[in-house]
Amino acid sequence: MKFQVFRNGQVVDQFTLCGAYLFGGDGLGVRRAQITFKDGFVECIKPNLETAGLALLWPIDGFGRVLLPTTCLPERERPYNLNVEIARAKLMQIVNKREDWLFFNNIEGLTDLLKESQDLFIRAIQNISVPSEASKLADESLEKAVVFSEKLAIKQAESLFKTRSRSHGFGRGCFGCRADPAQIDNPVYVEKLLQLFGSATIPVNWAQVEPRKGTYDFSRIDACVDALAKKKVALSAGPLLCFSKEHLPKWVLRNGKGFEKIRETAYQFILNVVGRYSGVIRAWYSVSGLNAQNHFGFGFEQILEMTRAANMAVKQASDRTFKIIEVCNPWGEYYTTTPNSIPPLVYMDMVVQSGISFDAFALQMRFGKNQSGMHIRDMMQISAIMDHFGPIAKPLYVTDVEVPSQDVDGLQDGNVAGIWHEQWNQARQGQWIEQFYKIALSKAFVNSVTYSNLVDTEDSTIEHSGLLTSELESKESFQTLRKLHDGIFSR
């Protein structure tokens, strides 16, 4: 498959492929695919003849730079016009989501926008034999379509959010935050945390808690428990198990050759940690990111067995504990390049079908970095991916939410990570957070949203993503979230 790329009606001679991957008709990433750009064409080589779509970071005048897909297309000798195919996919998504949401109301000031976008796209198809002209018309169509799609997603979310709020559908813990052990002794930090959040997640890192086999350092968890246990805040903790390298003790990395041995070691670790805090911590993230982060290369059955063992250990240590399985990278791009990984929904469905005893799923959502799963998406895509997980017969927690409040070079440069309307600043971060929270909490199956870090810290995944500066001064996003919180709970 080949796609010709245009900018302002001219074939481009330079184009950086960011976040690019192929996906099949089932939405799953295509493995062993090669995507290259040369002489104005994106060329995709894949291992089968089935239809496939291309997703990549794409510039939109007046809107920014977001990761967008084409529709699924058959192979052919003649190149596709990438500008046209991206516009086609966005218009199709609008039609599909309006049907899914049963949201056909005329939206003030927007109905004409959609009609203009559709008319421009029809003209693009009529001029498809003149690729440069078709691309210009498609670009204009996409500019209008993406604005309409976001406003539609936000309008639909606000309607359901208000209904849920009026019917007291939100628990006190629906606003959560991950606690920072480095700040927990600071009374200003704790005061700000309690002002805004009804639940707090205490981080657990196996590498830090058990640096040597059988030797435990609970100081960081103890400090958080001491500071928060007697406050009006629901405590959760985790992840107990995460199989990325930075979460694994060096002695496990050195010795952990056999699956059985690793499982027994992990089981013992969970028993010790959960047993110690069984009276104070009500919910545990038993395992996190095993769908994508799999340092030891566990096979399909082993991933399931490790998930089962983690939840059994939590249950054995504390019978009444709430057990949460956390999934990362909801779009599943990692599946195209990461061996021994499982697409998110496939993993979740496997866990449910296998009868593992647990209570909820959590979905990590981070944006603003040139890494798998973190490129900027528009709000309709975010709403649609949450709907994708709605049919799973378990409550959903949205966790580790973060976006930056200023631009940073390198992996967070907007040219490679994406731009949402304009470069990141405090006001832009606040607007994004308000819209994201309304979309997430408008979904009846979403129990809570947990923000990743209250304060800017050097070790956060997304730099400058805190709601407070490193000096604990409130950013606009903190005030925005406070206003949203008070709107729900001050009645």
Residues 188 and 110 in one domain: no
The answer to whether position 349 is within a domain reads: yes
Q: Is the pLDDT of residue 144 over 70?
A: yes
58 in a structural domain: yes
**Is the same domain home to 89 and 109?**
yes
- 105: pLDDT strictly greater than 70: no
pLDDT greater than 80 at residue 149: yes
Least confident span in 81-85, 109-113, 123-127, 174-178: 109-113
Residues 76 and 110 in one domain: yes
Tell whether 238 and 305 lie within a shared domain.
Answer: yes
Query: Does residue 177 sit within a domain?
Result: yes
Q: How confident is the model at residue 256, as a pLDDT?
A: 64
Same domain flag for 283 and 140: no
Domain for residue 167, yes or no?
no
Q: Per-residue pLDDT tens for 170-191?
A: 988 999 999 999 999 999 999 9
Average pLDDT over residues 65-94: 97
Residues 414 and 284 both lie in one domain: yes
Same domain, 21 and 65: yes
Q: Give the tokens for residue 236.
A: 């959760």
> Looking at the 3D structure of the chain, how many domains does it have?
2
CA distances in angstroms from 162 to 99, 106, 350, listed in the order given: 21, 19, 34
Beta bridge partners of 201: 178, 236
In a domain, 279, yes or no: yes
Distance CA(417)–CA(374), nearest Å, equals 8
User: 3-state DSSP call for residue 359?
Assistant: coil
Q: Which two tokens stand for residue 294?
A: 């799999």
Has residue 24 got a pLDDT over 70?
yes
User: Does 4 score more than 90 pLDDT?
Assistant: yes
Closest CA to 89 of 55, 62, 43: 55
Count of C-beta atoms within a 10 Å radius of residue 406: 16
Q: What is the pLDDT of residue 12?
A: 96
Distance separating alpha carbons of residues 379 and 432, to the nearest angstrom: 9
pTM of the model: 0.96
Q: How confident is the model at residue 50 (pLDDT cuts 50, 70, 90)?
A: very high
In this structure, are 148 and 199 located in the same domain? Answer: no
CB atoms near residue 212 (< 10 Å): 10
Cα(95)–Cα(103) distance, rounded to whole angstroms? 10
104 pLDDT higher than 80: no
Neighbour tally for 246: CB within 10 Å: 12
- What sign has the CA pseudo-torsion 187, 192, 194, 197? negative
Q: Is residue 7 situated within a structural domain?
A: yes
Residue 476 forms part of a structural domain: yes
Both 190 and 128 in a single domain?
no
Tokens of 468: 């407070």
pLDDT at 106: 64
In a domain, 166, yes or no: no
Contact 90, 146 (CB under 8 A): yes
Domain carrying residue 22: 2-161
Q: Tens of pLDDT along 360-397?
A: 999 999 999 999 999 999 999 999 999 999 999 899 99
Within this chain, do residues 349 and 278 fall inside the same structural domain, yes or no?
Answer: yes
Average pLDDT, the chain: 95
Do residues 11 and 153 both lie within one domain? yes
Average pLDDT over residues 29-54: 95
- Would you say 379 and 153 are in contact if contact means Cβ atoms under 8 Å apart? yes
Same domain, 33 and 92: yes
466-472: average pLDDT: 96
Terminal Cα distance for the chain, rounded:
57
Domain boundary among 111, 139, 161: 161
Task: Compute CA 135 distance to the chain's CA centroid, rounded to the nearest angstrom.
Answer: 31
At residue 472, φ and ψ (nearest 5 deg) are 65, 25
Helix-strand-coil split of the chain, %, nearest 5 = 40, 20, 40
Q: What mean pLDDT comes out for the span 332-348?
A: 95
**pLDDT exceeds 90 at position 491:** no
Both tokens of 19, joined, read 């976040």
Q: Tell me: the pLDDT tens digits for 404-438?
A: 999 999 999 999 999 999 999 999 999 999 999 99
- Last residue of some domain: 136, 161, 186? 161
Residue 111 pLDDT > 90: no
User: Over pLDDT 90: what percentage of the chain?
Assistant: 92
Percent of the chain with pLDDT over 70: 98
Among 96-105, 410-419, 481-490, the least confident range: 96-105
> Do 20 and 33 contact (CB within 8 A), yes or no?
no
Q: Which of 80-94, 142-156, 172-186, 247-261 is least confident? A: 247-261
pLDDT tens digits, one per residue of 186-230: 999 999 999 999 999 999 999 999 999 999 999 999 999 999 999
